Amino acid sequence: MTELHDGGAATLAALPSGLSVTVRVPATSANLGPGYDSLGLAVQLFDTVTVETLDSGALEFTLAGEGTDSVPRDGSHLVIRSLESALAQLGYRHQGLHLSAENVIPHGRGLGSSAAAVVAAALAANGLVPEEARRGLDWALQFTSELEGHPDNVAPAIFGALALSWQDGAAFHSARAEVHADVTPVVAIPDFELSTELARTLLPAQVDHHDAAMNSGRAALLVAALTSQPELLVPATRDYLHQDYRATAMQPSAELIAALRERGHAAVVSGAGPTVMTLTRSAEEAREVEEFINRRQSAGVSWRVLRPAVDREGAKVEVHPR
């Protein structure tokens, strides 16, 4: 993640007190097998953030839900840091904030919790500044991709559905694609975390040319499978770039994925893991996957199994009247 900055607070216009905005952001699953750092899917698990400006100079917090026992309640909170940086880009600063957050997205599980935080912050900042200073969603994509270092989670969080993202020089871009109505994600969230930073250290600096070519073919096939031919999801989700290298850091996830794929289900690591996402092709298959995972519950690791629908709308912003 790139360094956040305040843009030189002395030159920034101060926001008045009493402004308020609420942002609801979906969870996201990046990579989806072979779409490493380029494909991401939005699903209907939502974090909701409300920010109100104060004139007291204080930072106040009302936090509930996932991760709230461990996140900081000061200026180092990711939403606060990201919001201050976004405000600075827009030419403004706050004089105090009240942050209210209801977190549903699990932290450290590969479902885009940090992406949701920076997207919520960017869109909240954009809603707090005067209308003439506001930017479009392309600005939000660029800003949040720079903070995250890649667009694969922030793009579906902003736009919804399936996001196909890429980088061109310093610029980040994304194209939105509709997901076939029969595709039903099933997520199995384990009771342990895995940091994205650790997961990235397990990847090799170079990969075999054959593996790269094979992965390109599967990533292209995955777009077709998700949008129009879900019967191809099992072969389309075969990855050659990252999952096998990361298996040692999340052995229970790797074993579950192998067991599901042996039974003909399109199971992948969600993001950097350790959550397992299975892209099923019907409600019947989704039930079968849920039942199979629930039968594997053990003393060693427990799985929380959810069936969140694909989110087709992306982040929602409500600017409250004064």
- Per residue in 160-204, pLDDT (tens digit) is 999 999 999 999 999 999 999 999 999 999 998 877 777 778 888
Distance, in Å, from the CA atom of 260 to the CA atom of 278, rounded to the nearest integer, reads 8
The answer, yes or no, to whether residue 5 has pLDDT greater than 60, is no
In a domain, 171, yes or no: yes
In a domain, 243, yes or no: yes
Reading the block at residue 125, the tokens are 């900042």
Do 139 and 223 sit in the same domain of this protein? Answer: no
Distance, in Å, from the CA atom of 298 to the CA atom of 32, rounded to the nearest integer, reads 26
pLDDT in the model for residue 93: 97
Do 263 and 156 sit in the same domain of this protein? Answer: no
Do 15 and 141 sit in the same domain of this protein? Answer: yes
Do 43 and 141 sit in the same domain of this protein? Answer: yes
Q: Which domain holds residue 142?
A: 11-175+311-320
In a domain, 216, yes or no: yes
In a domain, 5, yes or no: no
Do 154 and 19 sit in the same domain of this protein? Answer: yes
Do 35 and 166 sit in the same domain of this protein? Answer: yes
pLDDT in the model for residue 2: 40
Do 108 and 81 sit in the same domain of this protein? Answer: yes
Distance, in Å, from the CA atom of 270 to the CA atom of 178, rounded to the nearest integer, reads 19
Q: Which residues contact 15 (CB under 8 A, 6 or more apart)?
A: 53, 87, 92, 93, 94, 95, 128, 129
In a domain, 152, yes or no: yes
Q: What is the pLDDT of residues 259-313, one digit of tens each?
A: 999 999 999 999 999 999 999 999 999 999 999 999 887 657 899 999 999 999 9
Q: How many domains does the chain have?
A: 2
Q: Which residues contact 60 (CB under 8 A, 6 or more apart)?
A: 54, 96, 97, 98, 99
Return phi, psi of residue 309, to 5°: -70, 160
Do 166 and 193 sit in the same domain of this protein? Answer: no
Q: Which residues contact 86 (CB under 8 A, 6 or more apart)?
A: 121, 122, 124, 125, 126, 143
pLDDT in the model for residue 187: 98
In a domain, 2, yes or no: no
**10: three-class secondary structure by DSSP:** helix
Do 165 and 250 sit in the same domain of this protein? Answer: no
Distance, in Å, from the CA atom of 124 to the CA atom of 295, rounded to the nearest integer, reads 42
Return phi, psi of residue 311, to 5°: -90, 120
Average pLDDT of the residues in 12-21 = 97
Sign of CA dihedral 28, 187, 271, 250: positive
Do 110 and 255 sit in the same domain of this protein? Answer: no
Can you say whether residue 8 is alpha, beta or left, with left for phi > 0 and alpha for psi between -120 and 50 degrees? left
Percent of the chain scored above 70 by pLDDT? 96
pTM: 0.94
Do 299 and 192 sit in the same domain of this protein? Answer: yes
Residue 124's CATH number = 3.30.230.10
Measured CA distances, 244 to 33, 95, 219, 269, 313 (Å): 11, 48, 16, 10, 33
DSSP 8-state code for residue 311: P
184, 280 contact by CB (below 8 A)? yes
In a domain, 4, yes or no: no
Do 18 and 155 sit in the same domain of this protein? Answer: yes
Residue in 136, 161, 158, 162 with CA at minimum distance from that of residue 148: 158
